[in-house]
Structure 1
Amino acid sequence: MSAGYWVVSVNRDTGEATTSERIASKDEAWEEAARLEQPNIFTTVVPGRHKPRRDQP
């Protein structure tokens, strides 16, 4: 089972960042990122983690 994806958007002018709700499909996440991106807004897709990092309990 996939952990899903999040779209992270950063406003280049203000530095404000937002994160979408979890999106199950990688393709849908990239479509959402493309829809949100503007000259002053950078977007990227971040995969969810299946398990905690090793340095976290």
Structure 2
Amino acid sequence: MSELMTALGLVLVLEGVLYALAPGGMKSVMRSALETPDQTLRIAGLVAAGAGVFLVWIIRG
């Protein structure tokens, strides 16, 4: 459970840094996401999740 909490904490740190360093860029990304078709966002999300699972699998064995 502590590993899950650590991972969630790292996600929050990374997102917080992005918003702190480039708030305008993040707004632009959000605007682009609103204009992107749902199917494209869905595929991008699945690819990102798959890459994350693969990365954890490689690191953790």
State the TM-score, normalizing by the size of structure 2.
0.31
| Structure 1 or 2: more strand by fraction | 1
Structure with higher Rg: it is 2
* Higher RCO, 1 vs 2 (CA within 8 Å, ≥6 residues apart): 1
State the TM-score, normalizing by the size of structure 1.
0.33
